[in-house]
Structure 1
Amino acid sequence: MNTRTILAIGMTSVTMLSFNACQQHTQENPLLAESSLPFGAPDFSKIKTADYLPAFEAAIKDKRDNIQKIVDCPDSATFENTILPFEDSGKLLDHVSRTFFPLVDADKTPEIGEIEKKVQPMLTDLENEIAFNKTLFERIRQVYDKQHDQLTGEDQKLLEEIYKGFVRKGALLPADKMERMKAINLRISDLQQQWGDQLQDATNDAVVWVDKKEELAGLSDADMAQCQKDAESRGGKAPYAIVIVNTTQQPLLATLDNRDLRKKVFEASIHRADGTNAKHNTFAIVSEIAKLRAEQAELMGYPNYAAYSLENTMAKTPEHVYDFLKNLIKAYAPKADAETKAIEDFARKSEGADFQLQPYDRFYYSAKMKKAMLDISDDEVKPYFNVDSVLVNGVFYAANLVYGLTFKERTDIPTYHSDMRVFEVIDKDGKPMALFYGDYYRRPTKRGGAWMDAFQEQTRRWKHLPIIFNVCNTAKAPDGEPSLLTWDEVTTMFHEFGHALHGMLSNCEYETLAGTSVARDFVEMPSQFNESFAAIPQVFDHFARHYKTGAQMPAELKERMLKSINFQTAYALGENLAATCLDLAWHMLPAKDVPTPDKAAAFESEALRQIGLLNAQIPPRYSTSYFNHVWGGGYAAGYYSYLWTEVLAVNIADVFAQRGALKRETGQAMRDKILSRGNTGDLMQMFSDFTGMQQPDASSLLKARGL
């Protein structure tokens, strides 16, 4: 999920539009005019790159003016004259931001990058102004002190979120510490922008060029064609190119016969941003961000950033997170060692008794071992996983069965890139309820990974229906050929659509509380739960159809494929645990102990060694120098949430299985008790209301992973 937030003062800015203050600009700037498209969707056919900067300038002025009106109000502060106007104050700015920043992540041309460099400091300055506006905060505090206990429901929750958000930003700090916090906020904003630029450049430069087709032996014809297409799109320095994806391990290593090339690809991945190539070294940014975050925490009275960050989560403290992780590590470690030994023993049957398994060999021999034991390979099943069928006959089909949603493609709504598709989402009563955009194919201007975000969030207050989009990085086949997926890519589409459902099914009064505006260690639950539908037989049979014939995957092949899902799953858990513990290790440090850039790599190794996860065979899913979730996104001290919420998701999937996984009644209960409620109540209580469980059952996680 995308974690970019704009003016995140303990809340997300509202998405309703306030165009009145900018009427003089509307004729020349479509961003400052109300959209005539359905749902108020952004009209990318009219928006020019040159429109963004003046739109931000106008919208920032509008936000300042709205805040000043609250400050200048002569009446005693109340919920109606202070909290509600504050909730509404950023409507125009949020509209402009929600239109622009998706391009920064998904289609970042040099022109967009230059605008970002100008806009981010402007936004951070504004955020500082608001966060440390003493008069504004005093009015908010008066409302909190006088009216909190009188308010109920979403009104009370909104007040809590706004008040506590200001406090966590430093509104109660003395003047000298406030000034330092402002400076830190501005510097972190600048560093995160640098990070995004450096990492994208480093990943693009890490492409491995290949001169001869013979060097790609083992790859399917489709993969070879993709390598040829990737080479052409990146300047054609050689006939073929292997593009590096965001994770440490690279999918093509599972089939690439050439061991020297496998090594080259793996090393290009792990060294993309660590200074091996002098042009790309992110450790200076990492070290400075970690130190500044630690200082933020210390200014706020916390021993480290993890303690500060986790206070408003389900986990509450780093100690609770570590207890959770250590129990998993204890159960996982012997299974990981046994898995590694089994793969090496298998490889030695063909490579000789002295063969030493390397991390760039693991996927290759694991795939061969799976083929030998289960008679299954990605190339055998990919013809049944056409991206279009997975989306329409899988993702949408499950949402229809479970939640009553239908999807109508809209070719009349412009997008920011020609690869995107747009669908109108219609509720079970026949009423339009959302727009959904899908942007599934990778390109050089798109950062790695997959995520969900919104052009517009749901809010009853302003009668706004949600406009949600998913972004992935699937390879696009040459024109006229189908784009085929691996099983991992199939589940990624279901995963991101789980986030989309959380946004689309939202039914909240205030946008601050709506959709995915929940704690980090709850937000991944709907997405991870939604993955479970991919393997349910009725859903699987509906989308797993051969791209040429339309025939269902044969029952015998389906059985072998589904059995293979949990084949050697210790690796996937281990790489996630290692990345999680790296994230925590960096954010448990006091500022004085943050390593200098030249010591960052050594710190990573030592942190993994101390917790028992330093394993050359199972490196972190993301190493420190390219861990975008942590240094560029919103998962600082929060990457554990993927494992934490997986427990919640497995527990919920078990409830669905017991009650009827595809029954509309079960889906309606999930919708009513969790997906529609955003952050309007206690998250653990929502979980309990649906499952009947007082606490999550962590033992279900290992069982679900086949461990």
Structure 2
Amino acid sequence: MTVETNPLLLPSALPYHLPDYAAIRPEHYLPAFRLGFEEQLAEIRRITMVRSMPTFENTMEALEQSGALLDRVSHAFYTVSSADATSEIQEIDEELAPLMAAHQDAILLDSTLYWRIGRLFEQLKDLPLTAEQRRLVQRWHREMTLAGAALDDAAKAGLTDLNRRLSTLSTTFEKNLLADTNDLAVVFDDPAELDGLSTGELSAAARTAAERGREARHVLTLPLFTGHPALASLTDRESRRRVMAASRSRGSRGNDHDNRAILAEIAALRAERAALLGYPTHAAAVTADETAGTPEAVERMLRDLAVSAARNVAAERAARQELIDTTEAAPFPLEAHDWAFATERLRTAQYDIDTAALRGWFEAERVLHDGVFAAAGRLYGLTFAERSDLVAYHPDARVFEVFEEDGSALGLYVLDLYTRDSKRGGAWMNPIVSQSALRGTRPVVANNLNVPKPGPGEPTLLTLDEVTTLFHEFGHALHGLFSDVTYPHFSGTNVFRDFVEFPSQVNEMWILWPEILGSYARHHETGEPLPADLVERLRATEAFDQGHATAEYLAAAWLDQALHALHAGDTIDDVAAFEAAALADIGLDDPAVPTRYSSAYFAHVFSGGYSAGYYSYIWSEVLDADTVEWFRENGGLTRANGERFRRRLLGVGGSKDPLEAYRDFRGRAAEIAPLLKRRGLDT
């Protein structure tokens, strides 16, 4: 294809270089990728063939300038492959996976490039470089070392084969999970089986059924995590059981989408790769370049928290069983599919709060503009203007231009709110264009959620969990939008995995902040604010059910560590038995509290970037909870506080050691006490 026939081959002429998705077709991607591979390898050869000794300019800066076309194509494609993975896109993804792995290895394992960077690394203290430039040398040297650049040629060849195979397996895992999740969507023939759901939820379920050719029925699609939001409301116990059973069986039904053999091979190959790189386990290889440092540090934290979480779960289970025994005409033993339903009944009894009824105050458009955007305006001076003239990758994806307080342009924000069969589960942020002063690019970031879409003309009413997810993911978006670095290597969320969740978790604090809640939490029919006494009761429930929430999360984090504690030659012959043994080891093998993700649908670690790193949510939450305390102590939602947080933490991306950046912001290292108090683990 030529520049004239492939819109990916030149920088987009649209504002902020937003990809011209209206013109891009699936057949454009692979040719553009192949040209991008060739172009960057030629640029690397020009660096390594320089006869003069390495300098920052002829090595590091040239390296950061390389791959502009490939970055442009990759960002455009992977945005689509996660959010609108049609069969054509999936086929491209499968073909592309080993090619991308081989290309990355060709750069990271290049001996001459490694030598040149090594020379600069050895001379670093004597070079007249800025702090960001020094860190760039350090990080490239560290990352290439960890990738295997110091290995001999035979070992590198073996490593490249492993990486290719792993990339293919990860792509297959994600494809299988998407297909099985779609296949297992639960069909209900009688609306009575869905008693307890709101009108809006029933409308969304009917719409989903109609889209699948199931007129006069209702369909509940499955979220990525174990269970379903509807379990809190469904009064029919058999309906709850069906939904939970479908959720937990994904990827392990013995059909064409079964992921068990795939995940076992991934775990074994990762262990083999770790040994080749000189590490005992994959977890050791991963944590060596995270703030945790070692898997032992992660284990200590998870085990310590698990003791308190298990204790709290036991008390919570007893309270819910007592409720069932005293209120049900035919009492039954509490099971996993009953927990959310019993929890909401207990919440109502103890606090007079019906979380399902809260939806009426959480209309999506108002939450976005008067909640999420309003908090960003108060803290950072941002304003947002929807750009209906700019076309994103799907009709449901909306584009907003973001402006600074002085009216100057900052970047673009894309919101893709609704679930669909071609979108992977969960919620996430990804860059479409990364900020870099070197390349002259400004940020374009996207947030994806999976909110059921109601019928035409009906409002989108969010659950409190969905409101939390929107604020959380927007925290990631701010991390990308505020990026103020020279080199693309450090842009936005390019930070340590066990630090990346910190800014997004901090942004959740504004959900119940009085000025923000009073702005967005207004009833969609009457405009009345959420009653003040209800707000107080809502705040009083912040630690409610935290034993369950903490235990299911810790179980998944521990399972991730166990899967990646294998040594070379170890195998997983029975995935279910392996999981059971791992959860028993940490004391979180409670049948009523299943792990948030079971192995066969644990996309974070088998097709995402969180392998041996799912612990990062709780690890980052230590910083988050401590930061919330700082905001409360310093006046809360003020421009001065927002500016400090932006300039000292969000804007620096990966250009500064994250814990150093945190100390610069906070004035000291983080303390764990606020986290323990938040999760009810401090007694």
Give the shorter-chain TM-score range.
over 0.9
How far apart are the structure 2 equivalents of 1:48 and 1:678?
A: 33
Letter in 2 for 1:159: V
Residue identity in the other structure for 1:682: D
Match of 2:252 in 1: 274
Aligned to 1:407: 384
2: CA distance between counterparts of 1:641 and 1:243?
28
2:676 matched to which residue of 1? 702
CA displacement 1:196-237 (0-9 Å, x = unmatched): 110101111111111111211122221111111111222328
Shift of 1:71: 2.2
Pairing 1:534-553 to 2, within 5 Å after superposition: 534-553=511-530
Deviation at 1:537, TM superposition (A): 0.7
Is 1:199 the counterpart of 2:173 in the alignment? no
Equivalent-residue separation in structure 1 for 2:352 and 2:435 (angstroms) = 47
Helix, strand or coil at the partner of 1:438: strand
| In structure 2, distance between residues paired with 1:425 and 1:282 | 41
Pick one of 322, 329, 340 that aligns with 2:317. Answer: 340
Q: Does 1:666 align with 2:644?
A: no
1:261 maps to which residue?
239
Contact 2:307/2:587, CA 8 A, preserved across alignment: no
Distance (Å, rounded) in 1 between the aligned partners of 2:516 and 2:159: 51
Is 1:225 aligned with 2:203?
yes
Residues 303-342 of structure 1 show CA distances to partners (whole Å, capped at 9, x for unaligned) of: 1111110011111011111111122112222111000110
Summarize the alignment of residues 31-46 of structure 1 with structure 2, pairs less than 5 Å apart. Answer: 31-46=8-23
The within-5 A match list for 1:502-581 is 502-581=479-558
Which AA in structure 2 matches 1:271?
S
Does the 8 Å CA contact 2:227/2:243 hold for their aligned counterparts? no
Matches of residues 578-657 of structure 1 in structure 2 within 5 Å? 578-596=555-573, 599-657=574-632
Residue 461 of structure 2 corresponds to which residue in structure 1? 484
Mapped to 1, the partners of 2:138 and 2:314 lie a distance apart of 48
Structure 2 counterpart of 1:514, one-letter code: S
Letter in 2 for 1:653: V
Matched residues in 1 for 2:19 and 2:273: separation? 36
Matches of 2:415 and 2:275 in 1, distance apart? 42
Q: Mapping of 1:61-100 within 5 angstroms?
A: 61-100=38-77
Aligned match of 2:214: 236
1:679 equivalent to 2:654? Answer yes
Distance 1:282 1:237, change over 3 A: farther
Task: Name the residue aligned to 1:19.
Answer: none
What is the CA distance between 1:459 and its match in structure 2?
Answer: 0.9
Distance 1:441 1:349 in 2: 40
1:47 aligns with 2:10: no
Q: Tell me which moved more, 34-43 or 438-447.
A: 34-43
Q: Kindly state the Cα deviation for residue 55 of structure 1 after the two structures are TM-superposed.
A: 1.2
Q: Is the 8 A contact 1:27 1:33 kept in 2?
A: no
RMSD: 1.5
TM-score in terms of structure 1 length? 0.94
Offset at 1:564? 3.2
Amino acid at match of 1:674: L
Q: Following TM superposition, by how much is the alpha carbon of 1:148 offset from its aligned partner in structure 2, in angstroms?
A: 5.5
Question: Which residue among 152, 155, 162 is the counterpart of 1:177?
Answer: 155
- Distance (whole Å) between structure 2 residues aligned to residue 55 and residue 280 of structure 1: 30
Give the CA deviation at 1:706. Answer: 4.1
Which amino acid is 2:525 matched to? Answer: K
Percent identity between the aligned chains? 39
**In structure 2, distance between residues paired with 1:134 and 1:259:** 62
Letter of the 1:217 counterpart = D
**Which of residues 653, 664, 672 in structure 2 aligns to 1:689?**
664
Alpha-carbon distance between aligned partners in 2 of 1:221 and 1:409, rounded to the nearest angstrom: 29
Aligned to 2:105: 128
CA contact (8 A) 2:542 2:678 kept: no
Secondary structure of the residue aligned to 1:407 is strand
- Post-superposition shift, 1:353? 8.0
Match of 1:417 among 369, 381, 394: 394
d(CA) in 1 for partners of 2:500 and 2:220? 33
2: distance between equivalents of 1:157 and 1:413?
37
CA distance, structure 1, for counterparts of residue 303 and residue 503 of structure 2? 25
| Alpha-carbon distance in 1 for matches of 2:610, 2:189 | 39
* Letter in structure 2 aligned against 1:483: T
CA separation in 2, counterparts of 1:499 and 1:314?
19
- State how far apart, in whole Å, the 1-side matches of 2:125 and 2:524 are: 58
2:333 maps to which residue? 356
Please tell me the residue identity of whatever aligns with 1:667: G
2:6–2:24: 8 Å Cα contact kept in structure 1? Answer: yes
Counterpart CA distance in 1 for 2:349 and 2:586 is 34
Q: Which amino acid aligns with 2:408?
A: K
Q: Deviations over 1:259-304 (max 9, x none)?
A: 11211110111011112x5333211111111111111111111111
Structure 1 SS opposite 2:569: helix
CA distance in 2, matches of 1:88, 1:399: 32
Q: Is the partner of 1:30 in helix, strand or coil?
A: coil
Q: 1:309-388, aligned counterparts within 5 Å?
A: 309-351=286-328, 355-388=332-365
2:288 is matched by which residue type in structure 1? E
Distance 1:616 1:154 in 2: 50
- CA spacing shift, 1:166–1:148, aligned 2, 3 Å: farther
Give the CA deviation at 1:137: 2.2
CA distance in 2, matches of 1:280, 1:191: 13
Post-superposition shift, 1:352?
Answer: 5.7
Cα distance in 1 between the residues matched to 2:240 and 2:397: 33
Deviations 1:434-493 (A, max 9, x none): 110100110000000000011111111122111111100011111100001111110110
Letter in structure 2 aligned against 1:647? V
